A and B are shown apart, each in its own frame.
Chain A
Amino acid sequence: MTPITLNHYLALGAVLFVCGVLCMATKRNAIGVLMGVELVLNGANINFVAFAYYLRDPQGNAVFLVEGQVFALFVIVLAAAEAAIALAIVLNFYNNHLTVDVDTAEELKG
């Protein structure tokens, strides 16, 4: 078995990212779109943490050990905030339109 390198983690992050983008593109349910956003953020998070773990200088010190994890923490916190606001908007939308289909949100069309 080949040893696991940084590239493996980056590939996993890429898969999650693409799944998230596809989810945002194909789902018509507003909450489904929200799930796509979560997947995208997770893909990015995997990259952050993997870089924090693997990227070392010639002396073997982890260069961005704290940075990668701090950024991942901030992403998690902001994703929670984003989900809260997005769900509030979706609930409002549902109250007005009785559906969460994003295609019906066209009132602002010029």
Chain B
Amino acid sequence: MGDSELVVNGRATALASVPEDERLLDTLRWRLGLRGTKEGCRSGDCGACVVLVDGRSTLSCLTLTHELPGASVTTIESISEDPVGRVVQDAFVAEGAVQCGYCTPGFVVALTGLLKELPPSAPLPELLDEMQGNLCRCTGYGSIVRAIVRAREATR
């Protein structure tokens, strides 16, 4: 793979067709039709637009697509193909950690990236601390915290 493309959910995407001032969020949603990634604040404050770039959680609203040549992007649409992503999705379902659902893709992708980034020995407070970049205005977080605990137990 060269510098002229990036890979989104395993599929090569040519950069030539993408304007240089386009954000990854807009490329995903409006050019590639991947509407699972949500636009919340568009200023990096809410975490609804989080995707994985080479495995690391990234705010797609604050990232230019052209800054990622050769990178591999994973969105909510393909997260279940990742074993850890699958576990996280199952944990959110089992705990009913969804209300309106708008923030859910960001939470699931961010937690998947976090569980893969931190060692399995990482204490729960560290996980909860690192998840604070994702905001939810419905659930009151109780069910989401339970889903995080469940996913952590299942991946240790």
Do A and B form a real pair? no
- Chain B contacts to A: CB under 8 angstroms: none
